[in-house]
Amino acid sequence: MTKINIQNDEDGPEHEPEVAAAEANAAAADYAARIAELEKQLAEMKDRALREMADAENTRKRAQKEREDISKYAVGNFAKEMLAIADNFSRALAAAPQDTSDPTVANLLTGLQATERQLQATLERFGVKKIEPVGEMFDPHFHQVMMEVDAPDQPPGTIVQVLQAGYVIHDRLLREALVAVAKGAPGTAKLDTSA
């Protein structure tokens, strides 16, 4: 039996450049698809890296703010305890006899005043400041109304007396001031003392 070799015109040597070109185009298309896939992955990785960097920066800033707040307000509980001592000094000075003809009483009163000034100065060095609201309008964020008093010369809601001093530490309320406010003239609107 004789083998017959039939050659198709398309498979001839003259068509080899077309086949090579088709293979090259297919390979180029594969490379282009692979490059596009790698560029997409690169963009996703860049986006993820930027998000992680931003998240790390936010965490660093939060931690720094917390450290600053801790150092700023760390004396808060201690300062609250010291306020009772400051109140007792104020009460002692208010109860002291005003007649200073007796040198012993005069020396005692001078010592109490000096100690109270020193205590207030020490509190202020640590950011604790006394609220002095007499003459100001009532603010429920810093004051607590204990009573209303007749004061026709004052607008309603004006603080006319401080019953217990209030204090702030830096920008935060440490203890609200207990105050008496003016009622105002009869028939005027009632002051809203709720916070």
- The structural domains of the chain, with segments of one domain joined by +, span 13-73, 128-195
Q: What is the pTM of this model?
A: 0.62
Residue-wise pLDDT for 94-125, tens only, equals 888 877 788 888 888 888 899 999 999 999 99
User: What's the whole-number mean pLDDT along residues 145-152?
Assistant: 90
High-pLDDT (> 70) share of the chain, %: 86
How would you class 186 by CB atoms within 10 Å of its CB: exposed for 0-12, middle for 13-18, buried for 19 or more?
exposed
Confidence (pLDDT) at 59: 94
- Do residues 119 and 88 make contact, with C-beta atoms less than 8 angstroms apart? no
The most distant pair of C-alpha atoms in the chain lies apart, rounded to whole Å, by 150
Token digits of residue 13: 């040597």
Structure confidence at residue 144 as a pLDDT band (50, 70, 90): very high
| CATH number attached to the domain at 128-195 | 2.30.22.10
pLDDT at 15 over 70: no
